């Protein structure tokens, strides 16, 4: 599989903000809106919006994150848009965040943060 140009290929918007299942709350809506604006400003196409309930520290145990991995593995996306690092894994499980970012990177998929202070050029997933 040939790596895609991130600016012409689809991305996935990952939203993991609400602490309770059900209707999206304010945090999830803010993350979704911010991600959509981020994509629009950069000419990115969101192929899919994937959501999870915040709380499970290991992303591999979340249904939504497993969908993100599936999209990356099949080459359907070039990047994962996420509001901030703790949406992937909390600070207390930082090694899981690194593991997932490395797994994506090995498949040619980047992680891009949509929150303004982290979305500057040169800020990479850690």
Q: How far apart are CA 49 and CA 55, in angstroms?
A: 19
Helices (H) and strands (E) in the chain, counts: 3, 4
Residue 64 corresponds to which tokens in the numbers above? 């939504």
Mean pLDDT of the chain: 88
Here the CATH number for the domain that contains residue 110 is 3.40.50.1390
pLDDT digits (tens, 9 = 90+) for 41-82: 999 999 999 999 888 999 999 999 999 999 999 999 999 999
> Per the domain annotation, does 125 fall within a domain?
no
Is 112 exposed, middle or buried (CB count within 10 Å of its CB: 0-12, 13-18, 19+)?
A: buried
Residue 24 lies in a domain: yes
Q: Domain of 17?
A: 10-118
In a domain, 53, yes or no: yes
Query: Is 124 part of any domain?
Result: no
Q: Report the percent of the chain where pLDDT is more than 70.
A: 84
Structure confidence by residue, pLDDT tens digits, 31-50? 999 999 999 999 999 999 99
Residues 24 and 2: their CA atoms lie apart, in Å, by 36
Ramachandran area for residue 69 (φ above 0: left; ψ -120 to 50: alpha; else beta): alpha
State whether the Cα torsion 60-101-52-54 is positive or negative.
positive
Q: Does a structural domain hold residue 3?
A: no
**Phi, psi (degrees; rounded to nearest 5) at 46:** -85, 115
Asked if the structure places residue 105 within a domain, the reply is: yes
**Residue 4 located in a structural domain:** no
| Domains identified in the chain, total number | 1
Please report whether residue 2 resides in a domain: no
């Amino acid at each position: 599989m040939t790596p895609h140009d991130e600016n012409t290929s689809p991305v996935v918007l990952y939203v993991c903000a609400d602490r309770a299942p059900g209707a999206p709350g304010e945090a999830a809506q803010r993350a979704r809106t911010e991600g959509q604006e981020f994509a629009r400003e950069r000419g990115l196409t969101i192929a899919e919006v994937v959501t999870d309930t915040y709380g499970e520290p290991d992303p591999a145990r979340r249904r939504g994150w497993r969908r993100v991995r599936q999209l990356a593995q099949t080459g359907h996306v070039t990047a994962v848009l996420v509001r901030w690092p703790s949406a992937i894994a909390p600070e207390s499980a930082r090694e899981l965040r690194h593991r997932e970012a490395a797994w994506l990177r090995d498949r040619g998929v980047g992680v891009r943060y949509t929150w303004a202070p982290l979305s500057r050029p040169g800020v990479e997933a850690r």
